[in-house]
Amino acid sequence: MRGRQRGSSRDYITGHGKEENSASVRLQNAKPWRRSLRHVVVASLSSFLYGYHIGVVNETLESISEDLGFSGNTLAEGLVVSTCLGGAFVGSLFSGWIADGVGRKRSFQLCALPMLIGAGMSATANSLWGMLLGRIFVGTGMGLGPPVAALYVAEVSPPDVRGTFGALTQIATCLGLMGSFFIGIPSKEIVGWWRICFWVSIIPAAVLALCMEISAESPHWLFKRGRTIEAEAEFEKLLGGVNVKPAMADLSKSDRGDESSSVKLSELLFGCHARVMFIGSTLFALQQLSGINAVFYFSSTVFESFGVPSDLANTSVGVCNLLGSIVAMILMDKLGRKVLLMGSFLGMGVAMGLQVLAASSFAAGSGAMYLSVGGMLMFVLSFALGAGPVPCLVMSEMLPGKIRAKAMAICLAAHWVINFFVGLLFLRLLEQIGAQLLYTIFGSFCLIAVAFVNKYILETKGKSLQEIEIALLAQEAS
């Protein structure tokens, strides 16, 4: 049965050339993005939850430490903030195998489950250990969500708006961060409010789990499993019936139903896919080595050193992050991924240069303040324009369909490892080597990233996933 299904999809290539061309025109005129948008918005809830749980302890940490009896214990406070990163590493590492095993829809629901459990455990915690256990559960969902969201958006979006839809996940992350900040403001005045902050996160997690039940499954995943008729049905949901044949014809060019989905780790790291794995892992590593999470974690400390209140600092950073993400969404399918990435890393490098000047003897008083605060806001804005939303999107586009889920998992696991060490060592390095040298190192990595993107990243704007895969194979052959 599956063999006949698979054969019918290949017939689209050989027997419907003229029909495919005319359907492609109708695809553009019918604006199929309207159909797929609602599915992408539901998937973006996982990114909203990721941002919310990253930021939920920022405003509430003082209240949590007082209520649970570890106030003044900086190690315990640090664990509450960073324990979720350990869970995120585990969730990210296994996300590819889960996404390939049970599909994208079920993976989102599995992402929501530990967030529901972890939020409830955190909200009802009566000790430090109860809080840490809840944060580990939440972190597991945080690690599983982003790679699956990147896969899902790449696989259900029409090529001409895939960049715009990819930026929606970054906007959702920004809204989650800002939402956690505003909900957490009363925690310093209302006893036990921090528990409400954790309970609130259960709502979007439940909505994600329920709405995914009626959302479309990835046609790419279904076709790779040999379920061609179901893939056609999902394309009809996403693009409309008139566009099913050209979409299936395009899908059939590289993907093959009933292929074995078992990809060995050695094949990814040392085999024929080693080059694209190197590109993905290095891009995510450079994203973190730019110092972005050091800025997010410790920006309020820098602002407060100049007498700027922490709530104003957090609001300013959040607004810059959101504005940059919105601009990126507008420009992603106009300028392209590569241009945004290079411009973003270049802007971040210049911003770090301003930080170096602020820490030097050439600047003092209000001049140092304007350079440091302005440089930090410019850094966040530049990050949101490209280095934030593009890496997940462009790697989900560049990775071949056979290895896409598992390769994204490994690349993002590298992201979490470097994220953890940057957050762990930033303050200590700041004390040991000083702000000038540390910011110079971050700025150097930004400039290295510009050269890396220019050499290795393929422009994917407007191309189908199959066209990108063929172009990448040709690039490797040359």
- pLDDT for the residue 140: 93
Q: What integer pLDDT is reported at residue 405 of this predicted model?
A: 83
Check whether residue 142 and residue 274 sit in a common domain.
Answer: no
Report the CATH number that the domain containing residue 427 is assigned in CATH. 1.20.1250.20
Both 245 and 337 in one domain: the answer is no
Asked if 83 and 124 sit in the same domain, the reply is yes
Alpha carbon 365 to its chain's center: 38
Please classify residue 417 by burial: count the beta carbons closer than 10 Å to its beta carbon, then call 0-12 exposed, 13-18 middle and 19+ buried. middle
Short-list 441, 406, 412, 45, CA closest to 209:
45
Q: What pLDDT is stored for residue 129 in this prediction?
A: 93
User: Looking at the domain assignment, is residue 5 inside a domain?
Assistant: no
Residues 50 and 133 in one domain: yes
Query: Do 257 and 303 have their domain in common?
Result: no
291 and 197 belong to one structural domain:
no
User: Quick one: pLDDT at residue 20?
Assistant: 40
Last residue of a domain, one of 237, 261, 285: 261
Residues 255 and 267 in one domain: no
Residue 386 lies in a domain: yes
Neighbours of 20 (CB within 10 A): 18
Separation CA 93–CA 407 (nearest Å)? 10
Q: Which of 381, 397, 392 is nearest to 326 (CA)?
A: 381
What's the confidence (pLDDT) of residue 277? 86
In terms of residue numbers, what domain contains 346?
Answer: 262-478
Say yes or no: 102 and 212 in one domain.
Answer: yes
CA distance 194 to 185: 9
> Which residues, 6+ apart, have CB-to-CB distance to 320 below 8 Å?
377, 380, 381, 384
Which of these, 429, 279, 422, 306, lies nearest to 364 by C-alpha position?
A: 306
Q: Is residue 158 part of a domain?
A: yes
Same domain, 329 and 478: yes
**Looking up tokens 């199959």, which residue turns up?**
466
User: Per the structure, how many domains does the chain have?
Assistant: 2
Q: How far is CA 334 from CA 36, 94, 183, in A?
A: 20, 34, 36
Under a CB-based contact definition with an 8 Å cutoff, are residues 89 and 141 in contact? no
In a domain, 28, yes or no: no
Q: What pLDDT is recorded for position 72? A: 78
3-state SS of the chain? CHHHHHHHHHHHHHHCHHHHHHHHHHHHHCCCHHHHHHHHHHHHHHHHHHHHHHHHHHHHHHHHHHHHCCCCCHHHHHHHHHHHHHHHHHHHHHHHHHHHHHCHHHHHHHHHHHHHHHHHHHHCCCCHHHHHHHHHHHHHHHHHHHHHHHHHHHHHCCHHHHHHHHHHHHHHHHHHHHHHHHHHHHHHCCCCHHHHHHHHCHHHHHHHHHHHHHCCCCHHHHHHCCCHHHHHHHHHHHHCHHHHHHHHHHHHCCCCCCCCCCCCHHHHHHCCCHHHHHHHHHHHHHHHHCCHHHHHHHHHHHHHHCCCCHHHHHHHHHHHHHHHHHHHHHHHHHHCHHHHHHHHHHHHHHHHHHHHHHCCCCCCCHHHHHHHHHHHHHHHHHHHHHHCCHHHHHHHHHCCCCCHHHHHHHHHHHHHHHHHHHHHHHHHHHHHHCHHHHHHHHHHHHHHHHHHHHHHCCCCCCCCHHHHHHHHHHHHHC
77 and 44 housed in the same domain: yes
Q: What is the pTM of this model?
A: 0.80
Calpha distance 331→165 (Å, rounded): 12
pLDDT for 11: 42
Angle at which helices 33-68 and 228-239 cross, to 10° = 90
Asked if residue 166 is part of any domain, the answer here is yes
Q: Which of 226, 241, 261 is the last residue of a domain?
A: 261
So what's the pLDDT on residue 26? 40
pLDDT under 70: residue ranges of the chain:
1-32, 253-268, 271, 297-308, 310, 361-366, 427, 473-478
311 located within any domain: yes
Is 106 part of a structural domain of the chain?
Answer: yes
In a shared domain, residues 243 and 376: no
- Kindly give the interhelix angle for 162-184 and 128-156, rounded to the nearest 10 degrees: 160
pLDDT value for 364: 64
Q: What is the pLDDT of residues 268-308, one digit of tens each?
A: 677 677 888 888 899 999 998 998 877 776 666 666 666 66
* Rounded CA separation 242/89 (Å): 42
The verdict on 222 and 268 lying in the same domain is no
Q: What's the pLDDT tens digit per position in 181-240?
A: 889 888 878 888 999 999 999 999 999 999 999 999 998 888 888 888 888 888 888 887
Q: Which one of 232, 261, 290 terminates a domain? A: 261
> 396 near 408, Cβ under 8 Å?
yes
Cα gap 352→101, rounded to integer Å: 43
419 CB contacts (<8 Å, ≥6 apart)? Answer: 85, 288, 293
| Residue 15 located in a structural domain | no
Q: Give yes or no for a contact between 195 and 95, defined as CB atoms under 8 angstroms apart.
A: no
Q: What is the dihedral of CA 364, 367, 370, 376, to 10 degrees?
A: -50
Determine whether 120 is exposed, middle or buried from the number of CB atoms within 10 Å of its CB (0-12, 13-18, 19+): middle
